[in-house]
Amino acid sequence: MTAPIRVAIVGMGKIAHDQHLPSIAGDDNFTLAATVSSRGEGVGDLPHYRTLAELLASDTPVDAVALCTPPQVRYDLASAAIAAGKHVFLEKPPGATLAEVALLEAQAVEAGVTLFASWHSRYAAGVAPARAWLAGRKILSAAIVWREDVRVWHPGQDWIWAPGGLGVFDPGINALSIATAILPPFFLVDGTLSLPANREAPIAADLKFRDAAGVPVTMDLDWRQTGPQSWDISVETDAGTLKLEKGGAVLTLPGAAPQVAEDREYPGLYARFAELVRAGTRDVDTAPLRLVADAFLRAHRKAVEPFVE
């Protein structure tokens, strides 16, 4: 039997508590070895450190770290962990820039450790069957509608509005992580980002992409949605319309009843991370972040009313 991978979580915010802790606890491939958080919240009797540097300098043995901090500070943490020979699990987005993620990948190759740029929405229950069904069809168009209430989902997260925090693309990149997994490669041809007059990141976006065959992919992102929330992708094909709803959790194929399955996104990510560590390899797909960077580079911008939380 293989020894479990001793993992430390760095950044004990909401996602660490809601997803990483239970996923690690539920996976025999892993054992939680330590936590790191400037706010000093430990888990039970486990070793706890204020900084990653303190953990790496300690005698607590760890094989891997899961970085759950905001993306703006992720490079230094990942780079230090790689230099110490640790495998690294990056929350999404994998960094604040594309260049830093490319550099981390080169460092991980050099150090011979695993680097995993995770995209949790790709492990939503409907995604793999959607990809399999689409593989045999001619795609005519696709539409992404991702509309949520930022006040509900991101209360007090100032980093999300700062440069590198992506604004409405923080949830929108989840949609792009699914779309890039189920559709042929596509790129931005036009679009508009809406920026509140008092913020540095977009609160909404209306984007037009296309693929090599000219198939249009539209994206409607909005953080000002109250009432019903939408995290939906629909794909028109020559065999009818495929619908992925609730962030990929519910798949409806033409003429069939909706398929719903248990949420296994983070367990799926940890299973993949274990597979990469055991195989001694990496998975650093930056396609979703590249599309966001392209939108910042290529889209028009318009000022909209200030956002006050």
Beta strand pairing call for 115-117 and 139-147: unpaired
According to CB under 8 A, which residues from 254 to 293 bind a copy of itself?
A: 287, 290-293
- Closest to a copy of itself by CB, 95 vs 126, is 95
What residue has token string 């069904």? Answer: 133
- Closest to a copy of itself by CB, 215 vs 274, is 215
Q: By CB under 8 A, is residue 221 in contact with a copy of itself?
A: no
Q: By CB under 8 A, is residue 153 in contact with a copy of itself?
A: no
**CB neighbours of residue 272 within 10 Å:** 16
Give 139's contacts (C-beta < 8 A, 6+ positions apart): 183, 184, 211, 215, 235, 236, 237
Question: How many residues interact with a copy of itself (rule CB under 8 A)?
Answer: 31
The binder of a copy of itself chosen from 10, 68, 207, 299 (CB under 8 A): 299
Closest contact distance (angstroms) between CB of 99 and a copy of itself is 4
Q: By CB under 8 A, is residue 297 in contact with a copy of itself?
A: yes
Q: By CB under 8 A, is residue 102 in contact with a copy of itself?
A: yes
The binder of a copy of itself chosen from 29, 107, 141, 157 (CB under 8 A): 107
Q: How far apart are CA 123 and CA 283, in angstroms?
A: 14
Residue type, 148: E
**Structural element, H or E, at residue 44:** none
Nearest one of 93, 111, 211 to 163, comparing CA atoms: 93
Interface with a copy of itself by CB under 8 A: which residues?
75, 79, 96-100, 102-103, 106-107, 163-164, 185-188, 200, 212, 287, 290-294, 296-301
